Amino acid sequence: MLLDIARQVGLSVDAAREVLEKRTFKEAVDADWKLSGQYGITGVPTFVAGRHGVVGAQPYEALRATGCKAPRRRETPKHRLRASRPTSHWFRA
């Protein structure tokens, strides 16, 4: 299935097969999973905007509402733009 998708979007099937077989990006993927777990993300897909998020396939309206809850960068004090320490309750649905 993944190789079919690679072909459909114009990627080299051979290169895609090699990446999958050799697990070329294993360390990066494992690091992402670890960070996701620290943030309390337990499902895919998870959509996040600011400190708000929704898990699972969502209608456009739910994604838009989540985005509207997030502060605009220009309204956020500079000291708050840095990543905060992960917690298991990092967003409010």
Residues 25 and 54 in one domain: no
Residues 89 and 62 in one domain: yes
β strands within 1-93, DSSP E: 46-49, 52-55
Q: What is the pLDDT of residue 19?
A: 95
How many separate domains does the chain show? Answer: 2
Q: Which residues of the chain have pLDDT under 70?
A: 73-93
- Sorted by sequence, the CB contacts under 8 Å of residue 31 that are 6+ apart come out as none
Q: What is the pLDDT of residue 69?
A: 83
Residues 91 and 68 in one domain: yes
Q: What is the pLDDT of residue 84?
A: 47
Could you tell me the residue range of the domain that residue 1 belongs to? 1-38
Residues 3 and 33 in one domain: yes
Residues 34 and 46 in one domain: no
Residues 64 and 30 in one domain: no
Q: What is the pLDDT of residue 43?
A: 85
Q: What is the pLDDT of residue 81?
A: 45
pLDDT tens digits, one per residue of 15-30:
999 999 999 999 999 9
pTM higher than 0.85, yes or no? no
Q: What is the pLDDT of residue 3?
A: 96
- Sorted by sequence, the CB contacts under 8 Å of residue 83 that are 6+ apart come out as none
